[in-house]
Structure 1
Amino acid sequence: MLYRPIAVFDSGLGSLSVVRELRKIVPSENILYFADKKNFPYGNKTKSELKSIMLKSINFLEKYQPKLIVMASNTPSVQIYDEIKNNFSTAIISTKLPLDKTISLSRKKHIAIMASKGTLDSKEFNYLIKKEIPQQIFVDKVDSSEIINLVESGSFLFDQKFTSDKIREIIESNIDDTIDVIALGSTHLPFVKNYIEDILPSIKFINSSAEVAKDVKSYLKYTGDLDKNKNSKGKLEILVSADKKNFQSILRYMGIKEIIFDVSLQM
C-alpha cells in the first residue's frame, strides 16, 4: 500500500488526465488512481445512482489513508459534490468547470462548454451557469458523450481516422466561428484535445484536469502537507473495478507500465 497517496478516481480513463497533471506539478506525491469502469459512464446515471456510487467509492478509497481524494469527474462534481463533501474525514476535491478562466479569455463574449449529457442536462449545471456567467456572455452546450466514449474505449488510440471523423462531425454541428473559448468539461476530453485543436485552430481551450491539479497543490500547500522533496519521485498505484484486460491494454499502449490491481470483488 502506498504511503499517504493522493487518491484520484472517476469512471475510467478520465482520472488519468488528472494524474498526468498532478505528476507534473506535485511530482514527489504518491498517487492512487482508481478507474471505476464498473460504473462507466457516470454521465448517464441518475442523481441518486451517482450519489450512491460516490459514497461507495470514497468510503473504499479512505481505507488507503490518502492525504485527500480527487473526484476527477465533472458530472458528479457538479451534481453531487456539495451534498456529500462534509460526510468524510478525508478532504474531497472536486473537478470544477473552469468557468471563470473561460469567461476571462473570451473576447467575443461567446463560449462553449463540452461535457457529458448528464452534466449539461442537470439542474445543478444550469444553476451554475446562471449564477457564474454574466448575461452578456453567450454559452453553447456541446454534448460530448460520444467523444468521451471514444476515449474510454481506446478508439482514440487505435482508430484515429474514425475518431477524427466523429469529433469533426460533433464539432461542426455545434460550434461556429463566433465562439473563441471552449471549456473542456470532462476529464476524458484532454486526451483528444489535439484532434479538436486541429479542427478549431483559432480557439482557446481550458482544461479542467489541469485546473483541479492546481487546486490539489494549493490545498496541500495550505495544509502544510505538500511533499517538497525535489529528489524523490512519487509512486503510482492503479486500481480498476471491472474490465481489467481491456483497460490494461489501453494503458500499456499509452506507455504506462505500473501493475494494475483488480478490485472488483471489493466493490
Structure 2
Amino acid sequence: MLHRPIAVFDSGLGSLSVVRELRKVIPTENFLYYADKMNFPYGRKSKNELKNIIVKSIKFLEKYQPKLIVMASNTPSIQIYDEIKNNFSIDIIPTRLPLKKTINLSRKKHIAIMASRGTLESKEFTYLIKKEIPQQFFVENIDSSEIIDLVEEGAFLIDQKLTFQRIKEVIRPHMVNNTIDVAALCSTHLPIVKNYIEAVLPSVKLVNSSTEVARDVKNYLKYTGDLNKNGKGKLEILVSADKNNFQSILRSMGVRDLIFDVSLQL
C-alpha cells in the first residue's frame, strides 16, 4: 500500500486528466487513482443515487489513509460536496467549475460551458451561474454527455474520424453566430480529448477544470505543511469493474502503472 497517498476518484477515465495535472505540479506525492467504472456515468444519476455512491466511495478510500481525497468529477462536486464535506475525518477537495477564469478570459462576454447533463440540469448549477456569472455575459450550455461516453469507451483511441465527427455534432449547433470566445471544460473527461475540441473550436480559448483542481490541491498541501519536498511519487490504480477493458484503454494511452480490481472489496 502506498504511504499516505492523495486519493483521486471519479466514475472512470475522468480522474486520469486530474491525476496527470497533479503529477505535473506535485511530482513528489504518491497518488491513488480510483476509477469507479461500476457507477459510470455520474452525470446521469439522480442526486440521491449519486450521494450514496460518493459517500460509499469516500468511505472505501479512507481505508488507504490518504492525505486528502480529490473528488475528480464536476457533477458530484457541484451537487453533493457541500452536503457531505464535513462528514469524514479526511479533507475532501472538489473539482469546481472554473467560472472565474472563464469570464476573465472572455472579451466578447459570450462563453460556453461543456458539461454532463447531470451538471447542467442541476439546481446547484443554476444557482452557481446566477451567483458567479455577471448578467451582461451570455452563457451557452453544451451537454457533452456523448463526448464523455466516447472517452470512457476508449473510442477516441481507435477511430479518430468518428471522434472528431461526434464532437463536432455536439458542439456545432451551439456555435451559430461564432461569438463564443472562451469555453470551460467542466467534465474531467473532456481534457482527454482536448485536441479534438480545439480542432472544432480553433478560435476559442479552453479552460480546464482539471488544471484548476491540481492547483487547489497543491495550495492545500502548502497550507497544511504536508507537501512532500523530495523524492518521486508513485501511482496505483484501482478499478471497481471491467478491469481488462479499462486496463487496455490505459495501456493504449501510455499508462503503465499497476491496476488492481477492487470489485470484491466494495
Deviations 1:21-66 (A, max 9, x none): 0010000000000000000000000000000001000000000000
SS of equivalent residue, structure 2 residue 196: helix
CA distance in 1, matches of 2:174, 2:40: 25
Match of 2:222? Answer: 221
Match of 2:239? Answer: 240
How many residues were matched structurally? 265
Match of 1:175? Answer: 175
Match of 2:258? Answer: 259
Deviation (angstroms), 1:89: 0.7
2:185 alignment partner AA = L
CA distance in 2, matches of 1:134, 1:212: 23
Deviation (angstroms), 1:258: 1.4
Match of 2:109? Answer: 109
CA distance in 2, matches of 1:35, 1:85: 20
CA distance in 2, matches of 1:30, 1:84: 25
RMSD, aligned CA: 0.6
Match of 1:147? Answer: 147
2:180 alignment partner AA = I
1:253 alignment partner AA = S
Deviations 1:124-182 (A, max 9, x none): 00011001111001101000000000000000111111000011111111224110000
2:205 alignment partner AA = K
Match of 2:85? Answer: 85
CA distance in 2, matches of 1:163, 1:175: 18
Equivalences for residues 1-267 of structure 1 within 5 A: 1-176=1-176, 177-229=178-230, 232-267=231-266
Deviating 4+ runs (over 3 angstroms): none
SS of equivalent residue, structure 1 residue 233: coil
Q: Normalised by the size of structure 1, how large is the TM-score?
A: 0.98
Deviation (angstroms), 1:93: 0.2
Q: Normalised by the size of structure 2, how large is the TM-score?
A: 0.99
Is 197-206 or 34-43 further displaced after alignment? 197-206
* Identity value in percent: 76
Deviation (angstroms), 1:266: 1.2
2:265 alignment partner AA = Q
1:223 alignment partner AA = T
Gapped regions of structure 1 (runs ≥ 5): none
Deviations 1:204-246 (A, max 9, x none): 00000000000000000000000111xx210000000000010
SS of equivalent residue, structure 2 residue 97: coil
Is 7-16 or 252-261 further displaced after alignment? 252-261
1:58 alignment partner AA = I
SS of equivalent residue, structure 1 residue 75: helix
2:194 alignment partner AA = K
